[in-house]
């Protein structure tokens, strides 16, 4: 019997896509080779998911409560080799397989997620979330999948283009999981630049059909862009850094971002376009944005005015 300790990093991001960890045991007689040949591995029919108290299983269910899990293989020993991958409930989304580890190893750690652009602490995350609320820029999750996703590769097979501005969460290209920000690199929150050309004809690995499966967050402003705008924000006049509050800094940052965005939209997409009987007029959307911006500016001005009079004294005149 062997117990495998499984550590899950970036649990929140993992749970946005996956719900379990699947395990296989090597059935060969020698040391397993890379790349993984799935046909050389077998299902662990009578495994035990110890944290979730499940028996006769070959997977571990993920929970938002735990980052460490224990899987028991009653038929395994210190010479057994194991691989794992992440999957959703239906198996329609999976990561690539991890490298094999032996049963006597300290534990299994395999993070299938693409790294975040910057890792922020709880305080900074709270600031980012407030700015997203003020700017109306929630994080969304999108997916490029299957044969349709093939069209997003450029002709050189080295660049994958995201449909919207965003940041990758999970990149699985025909069974290979990309987990390093060095390959691919992200350019302009739009293009994933691979170090070498991706073999787009290699759709079958070890007799198993593989697919393109790319998950990515979408936004108008990345977390890094929001924090940089907040960190460089100047207090609105006549306030100074000594009497400006965080709420005012947040409103001023949001106003600056939205005001700049309105300028860009007016310049790039502000003209009325007529094509035969069809007319495209963006003025309604721009007017609505101006009203929202004016409302935020009014809130900001009232907060600044209120802050100005705090601590002011007066002289009584009889």
pLDDT, tens digit (0-9, with 9 covering 90-100), for 35-55: 888 889 999 989 999 999 999
Contacts of 21 (CB under 8 A, 6+ apart): 6, 8, 59, 60, 62, 69, 84, 85, 86, 87
Indicate whether 92 and 179 sit together in one domain: no
Q: Is residue 30 part of a domain?
A: yes
Residue 162 near residue 141 (C-beta atoms within 8 A): no
Indicate whether 144 and 78 sit together in one domain: no
Task: Identify the three-state secondary structure at position 290.
Answer: helix
Q: Write the DSSP symbol of residue 66.
A: -
Indicate whether 248 and 151 sit together in one domain: no
Indicate whether 196 and 291 sit together in one domain: no
Domain that holds residue 149: 122-221
Residue 150, pLDDT above cutoff 50:
yes
Which of 221, 246, 279 delimits the end of a domain? 221
Indicate whether 208 and 294 sit together in one domain: no
Residue 267, pLDDT above cutoff 70:
no
Please give the tally of structural domains in the chain. Answer: 3
Indicate whether 96 and 29 sit together in one domain: yes
Residue 87 near residue 20 (C-beta atoms within 8 A): yes
Indicate whether 196 and 262 sit together in one domain: no
More confident residue, 99 or 287: 99
Residue 185, pLDDT above cutoff 80:
yes
SS3 content of the chain, % helix, strand, coil (to 5): 30, 30, 45
Which of 167, 193, 221 delimits the end of a domain? 221
Residue 272, pLDDT above cutoff 60:
no
Residue 187 near residue 228 (C-beta atoms within 8 A): no
For 245-254, write each residue's pLDDT tens digit: 999 999 999 9
- What is the pLDDT, as a whole number, of residue 170? 96
CATH number where 54 lies? 2.60.40
Which of 164, 191, 221 delimits the end of a domain? 221
Q: How far separated are the first and last CA of the chain, in Å rounded? A: 92
Indicate whether 86 and 154 sit together in one domain: no
Distances (CA, A) of 280 to 131, 270, 271, 274, 275: 31, 10, 9, 6, 8
Cα–Cα distance for residue pair 272/287, rounded to 1 Å: 14
Indicate whether 202 and 250 sit together in one domain: no
The Cβ-side half-sphere exposure at 201, using a 13 Å CA radius, reads: 0
* Average pLDDT of the chain, as a whole number: 89
List of E strands, 206-255: 208-209, 212-218
Which helix (H) or strand (E) covers residue 65, if one does?
Answer: none
Indicate whether 126 and 166 sit together in one domain: yes
Calculate what percentage of the chain has a pLDDT beyond 90. Answer: 69
The Cβ-side half-sphere exposure at 169, using a 13 Å CA radius, reads: 22
For 91-132, write each residue's pLDDT tens digit: 889 999 999 998 877 788 889 999 999 999 999 999 999 999
Indicate whether 207 and 261 sit together in one domain: no
For residue 238, cis peptide bond before it (omega within 30 degrees of 0): yes
- What is the pLDDT, as a whole number, of residue 313? 45
Burial category of 90 from C-beta neighbours within 10 Å (exposed 0-12, middle 13-18, buried 19 and up): exposed
Residue 58 near residue 45 (C-beta atoms within 8 A): yes
- What is the pLDDT, as a whole number, of residue 11? 93
Q: Is residue 117 part of a domain?
A: no
Indicate whether 257 and 283 sit together in one domain: yes
């Amino acid at each position: 019997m062997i117990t495998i300790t499984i550590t899950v990093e970036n649990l929140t991001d993992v749970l946005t896509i996956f719900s379990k960890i699947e395990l296989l045991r090597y059935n060969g007689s020698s040391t397993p080779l890379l790349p993984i040949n799935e046909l050389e591995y077998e299902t662990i029919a009578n495994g035990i998911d110890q944290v979730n108290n499940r028996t006769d299983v070959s997977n571990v269910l993920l929970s938002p409560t735990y980052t460490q899990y224990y899987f028991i293989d009653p038929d395994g020993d210190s010479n057994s080799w194991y691989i794992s991958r992440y999957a959703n409930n239906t198996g329609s989304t999976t990561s690539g397989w991890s490298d094999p580890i032996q049963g006597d190893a300290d534990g299994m750690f395999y993070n299938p997620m693409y790294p975040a652009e910057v890792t922020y602490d709880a305080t900074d995350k709270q600031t980012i979330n407030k700015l997203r609320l003020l700017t109306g820029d929630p994080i969304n999750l999108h997916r490029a999948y299957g044969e349709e996703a093939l069209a997003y590769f450029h002709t050189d097979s080295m660049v994958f283009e995201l449909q919207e501005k965003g940041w990758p969460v999970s990149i699985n290209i025909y069974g290979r999981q990309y987990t390093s920000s060095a390959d691919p690199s992200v350019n302009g929150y739009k293009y994933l630049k691979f170090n070498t050309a991706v073999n787009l004809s290699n759709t079958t690995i070890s007799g198993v059909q593989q697919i393109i499966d790319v998950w990515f967050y979408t936004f108008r402003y990345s977390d890094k862009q929001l924090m940089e705008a907040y960190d460089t924000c100047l207090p609105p006049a006549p306030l100074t850094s000594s009497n400006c509050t965080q709420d005012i800094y947040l409103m001023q940052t949001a106003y600056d971002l939205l005001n700049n965005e309105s300028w860009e939209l007016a310049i790039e997409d502000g003209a009325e376009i007529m094509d035969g009987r069809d007319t495209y007029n963006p003025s309604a959307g721009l007017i609505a944005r101006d009203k929202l911006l004016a409302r935020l500016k009014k809130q900001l001005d009232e907060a600044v005015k209120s802050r100005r009079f705090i601590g002011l004294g007066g002289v009584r005149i009889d």
